Amino acid sequence: MSTAPRLNRSLPGMPPAPPVRMIHMGIGNFHRAHQAWYTAHAEDSADWGYAGFTGNSPKISDALAPQDGLYTLVTQGSDGDHPEVIGVISEVHPASDHAALLAKFADPQVVVVTITVTEQGYLRGPDGGLDLSQQVVQDDIAAAKADPRAVVRSAPARIAAGLAARRKAGAGAITILSCDNLPANGEVAQRVVSDFAAAVDPALAEWIAGNVDFATSMVDRITPATTEGLQARVEELCGWTDASPVPTEPFHEWVVQGSFPAGRPKWETAGAKLVDDVEPYEQRKLWLLNGSHTLMAYAGPIRGHETVEQAIKDPKVRAWVDTFWAEASRYLTLPADENADYRQALVERFENPNIRHNLAQIAHDGSTKLVVRTIPTILNERAAGNLPRGCATTVAAWVLHLRGLGAPVADKLAGPALEAANSGGLEVAVPKVLDTLSPGLGQDAELVALVLEQAAAIQAD
Ligand SMILES: NC(=O)c1ccc[n+]([C@@H]2O[C@H](COP(=O)([O-])OP(=O)(O)OC[C@H]3O[C@@H](n4cnc5c(N)ncnc54)[C@H](O)[C@@H]3O)[C@@H](O)[C@H]2O)c1
Ligand SMILES: O=P(O)(O)OC[C@@H](O)[C@@H](O)[C@H](O)[C@H](O)CO
């Protein structure tokens, strides 16, 4: 049993809690390595504290509340582990503390809400709007109609309930800033929150349209899940126990587009880029980094790999990744030489031997991820008359994954794809799975043949 003290603000040298002027919804590892890090490193960090809320499970709030919101961020580079205490989370709450969430939204001092609720947390339907067919959405609409302060569970409903409380309090304009790996994540957040509000109270939807800035951002920092080994390492390096330290890589990037009518931390002083159009950066990151992660997450485990590092160092996987990158790069709008440098830097980041990024973690929720990471390049390539072998490798590996090979399936929305993938032999399954990703794609005989070829290649040797 350790005799080391638990990390908390009364230990010598710990930072004071800044005043709460921001909310984070979906506090997990990524928020703590990224938005909280940028805030802690901004020149006005002493003025900007976070009230952090988990997205669903109370695991992180249970770990951080006894630590006064403090945690150890361990940057794992080729030169070893660098621990740092991050102090900008001034208070932390479980998602179930709905009253606290409403109180923070109603506070005029609070002017920014960052969110990381995962790609599936937005509950989008096939038309991009809020999926009204989902039970949780229907339950939340009924609850919010009966009482605007009623406890609701989905992210769009919780944000809309917070905004209703803000409108009632006359607390003024606010920015909702999405930090999830989704293209046009600000527009996506705006659409699902506005759809929810319109279903509950059209006047609220109108208030949102006039008072809420939905900002968009490209976020990047490879941040795996915490391990017990990291907890032991922190105790060894720092002399305190931390129930929830965060491992991360040295690289970080944040490109933000928003008007922030009520202010924000000076994130640019910590290296964030504030731009008028985030889309070119988003596309490059989602297609090159996340797209190749997705390829490796399904193909890697079938070839016996557990981590990104192992997969990228397998020459066969590396060749598939290079092929995929060449295909996707044809449709990027940033300068070609910058994209080439970006790919080279990605190889170095993926090969980092000190970061253990499990492929099974990245394999979660493929039905949502392939649609934004792989399908756009397939459609672009087919329209140009090309056969995209790299993209076909991702699809083939995903079909094999859905048929039980490699990492276990963890994807609440994969029902139709799972059924399609297991409906017969691969020749039957592949067109059906392609149709779940993009209706009609399964009719493309040349593409189907290529996916089958790559399925054989993944399973060879
Ligand atoms: N980890 C990374 O390297 C990384 C990098 C860039 C972007 N991101 C984005 O951040 C998200 C979270 O990643 P993480 O590493 O912090 O994961 P995590 O598992 O550490 O935390 C996930 C958080 O999301 C919440 N959540 C999960 N499902 C939800 C749902 N359906 N509705 C509302 N909240 C939900 C959880 O309660 C938790 O608070 C990713 O899905 C991705 O979009 C992560
Ligand atoms: O976080 P997800 O689940 O959207 O995707 C898994 C990884 O591709 C992702 O977390 C990357 O590590 C991250 O996007 C790097 O910035």
pLDDT in tens, 180-214: 999 999 999 999 999 999 999 999 999 999 999 99
Shortest-distance ligand to the CA of residue 120: 1
In one-letter notation, the amino acid at residue 256 is V
Kindly report the protein residue whose alpha carbon is nearest to atom 6 of ligand 1: 220
Ligand 2 centre to CA of 52 (Å) is 21
DSSP helix/strand/coil, 249: coil
pLDDT of residue 78: 87
- CA–CA separation, 430 vs 415, rounded Å? 15
pTM of the model: 0.96
Q: What is the dihedral of CA 227, 231, 233, 239, to 10 degrees?
A: 170
Q: Which atom of ligand 2 is nearest to the CA of 224?
A: 12
Ligand 2 centre to CA of 294 (Å) is 9
What is the token pair recorded at 394? 């991702």
pLDDT in tens, 396-448: 999 999 999 999 999 999 999 999 999 999 999 999 999 999 999 999 999 99
Site to substitute for ligand 1 among 30, 71, 221, 356, most atoms within 8 A of C-beta: 30
pLDDT of residue 461: 75
What is the token pair recorded at 441? 């794609």
Kindly report the protein residue whose alpha carbon is nearest to atom 3 of ligand 2: 362
What is the token pair recorded at 154? 């989905």
Q: Buried (b) or exposed (e) across 269-279, using 16+ Cβ within 10 A? A: ebebebbeebe
**Beta strands 80-86 and 71-77, pairing class:** antiparallel
What is the token pair recorded at 106? 């109603």
CB 242 within 8 A of CB 212: no
Shortest-distance ligand to the CA of residue 179: 1
Site to substitute for ligand 2 among 117, 287, 293, 355, most atoms within 8 A of C-beta: 293
Kindly report the protein residue whose alpha carbon is nearest to atom 11 of ligand 2: 222
C-alpha separations of 379 from 230, 291, 330, 437, 440 in Å: 42, 15, 12, 11, 11
151 within ligand 2 shell (Cβ under 6 A): no
pLDDT of residue 64: 98
155 within ligand 1 shell (Cβ under 6 A): yes
Alpha helices in 303-444 (DSSP H): 308-312, 315-329, 336-350, 359-362, 366-373, 375-383, 389-402, 415-421, 426-437
Ligand 1 centre to CA of 198 (Å) is 27
Residues counted in the chain: 461
CB 377 within 8 A of CB 287: yes
Q: 270 CB contacts (<8 Å, ≥6 apart)? A: 37, 38, 39, 40, 41, 42, 43
- ipTM at complex level: 0.97
Q: Which atom of ligand 2 is nearest to the CA of 180?
A: 4
Ranges in the chain, pLDDT < 70: 1
- CA–CA separation, 201 vs 347, rounded Å? 49
Q: What is the dihedral of CA 381, 386, 392, 395, to 10 degrees?
A: 30
Nearest one of 384, 330, 376, 391 to 183, comparing CA atoms:
376
Residue 362, CA atoms < 13 Å, CB-side half-sphere: 30
Beta bridge mates, 254 = 219
pLDDT of residue 373: 97
pLDDT of residue 2: 80
54 within ligand 1 shell (Cβ under 6 A): yes
Residue with tokens 């934004």: 372
List of domains in the chain: 20-277 (3.40.50.720), 280-459 (1.10.1040.10)
CB 20 within 8 A of CB 49: yes
How far is C-alpha 269 from the geometric centre of its chain's CA atoms? Answer: 24
223 φ, ψ (degrees, to nearest 5): -135, 95
In one-letter notation, the amino acid at residue 198 is A
